Amino acid sequence: MTASKWEPYATYATTGQFGALDKGYVRHCGPTAIANLLMTFENRYPLFPGKRMLPKKIFRRIALLGRERHYYFNMDRLKILGGTFNAAAPAYIRRAAALYQREDLAVGFARPSLSVFLKRALDGDAVIYLETILHKKYGNHHLLLYGYREREEAGSASKKRKITEFLAADGWSDIPVWLGANSIRTGFFHPVKKRQT
């Protein structure tokens, strides 16, 4: 695995932790990913040393912001309507970061989630906010990537090829998940980095 500076600070809150809050949340992977993102940055670059960020409290604020600004729609119609509006994700991340005085975060433009672009962003010390589209497991989903590894495929020496996998906080599992590069290449991503001062 490449050295991921983010792995020791990564958080893995899940949609399952938040779904039953208040009157219930559906298609809330966007607010969950943003909550993980903000907690991860706080773990690595603390603005509030000694003060613990509470996942449920953070999620509620982010989900409310999303509903008020029409970034996130707490509904599920026909399995296609509802959730976080993909085009609004960068603005949603910036506004959510501002709620926690994280003006030090820079959110990059959308890029196709091809392995070469993802690796370059991760090597540049970014956390990846990934939007999958029609993923085999997740469907349309928002999640984070913290790092990657490359390994040789098992098999005969003459047919071995390099496999790239990405370390993810998928919002479904409370532990890290490895996703193959080929499985996420139909989406888009936004690199999120700490601004240089």
Q: Assign 61 to helix, strand or coil.
A: helix
Give the pLDDT band (50/70/90) at residue 173.
very high
Total of domains in the chain: 1
Residue 158 maps to a domain = yes
Listed residue (143, 152, 179) closest to 40, CA to CA: 143
Q: CB 186: neighbour CB atoms within 10 A? A: 14
Amino acid at 154: A
**Does residue 111 have a pLDDT over 80?**
yes
Give Cα 91 distance to the centre of its chain. Answer: 15
- The strand pairing partners of 100, in sequence order, are none
- Predicted confidence at residue 22, as pLDDT, reads 86
- Global pTM value: 0.93
Give the pLDDT band (50/70/90) at residue 3.
low
* CATH number of the structural domain spanning residue 185: 3.90.70
- Full DSSP string of 55-109: HHHHHHHHHHHHHHHTSEEEEEETTTEEEE-GGGHHHHHHHHHHHTT-TTEEEPP
- Predicted confidence at residue 55, as pLDDT, reads 93
Give the pLDDT band (50/70/90) at residue 158.
low
**Does residue 145 have a pLDDT over 80?**
yes
- Predicted confidence at residue 127, as pLDDT, reads 98
Residue 2 maps to a domain = no
* Residue 168 phi, psi (nearest 5): -125, 150
Where does residue 44 rank: exposed (0-12), middle (13-18), buried (19+ CB within 10 A)?
middle
Angstrom distance (rounded) from CA 5 to CA 147: 8
Residue 1 maps to a domain = no
- Predicted confidence at residue 41, as pLDDT, reads 96
Give Cα 1 distance to the centre of its chain. Answer: 19
Listed residue (112, 118, 152, 151) closest to 132, CA to CA: 112
Mean pLDDT of 128-155: 90
**Does residue 116 have a pLDDT over 70?**
yes
**Does residue 83 have a pLDDT over 90?**
no
Residue 111 maps to a domain = yes
Average pLDDT score, the chain? 89
Contact 71, 87 (CB under 8 A): no
Q: Which domain holds residue 98?
A: 7-194
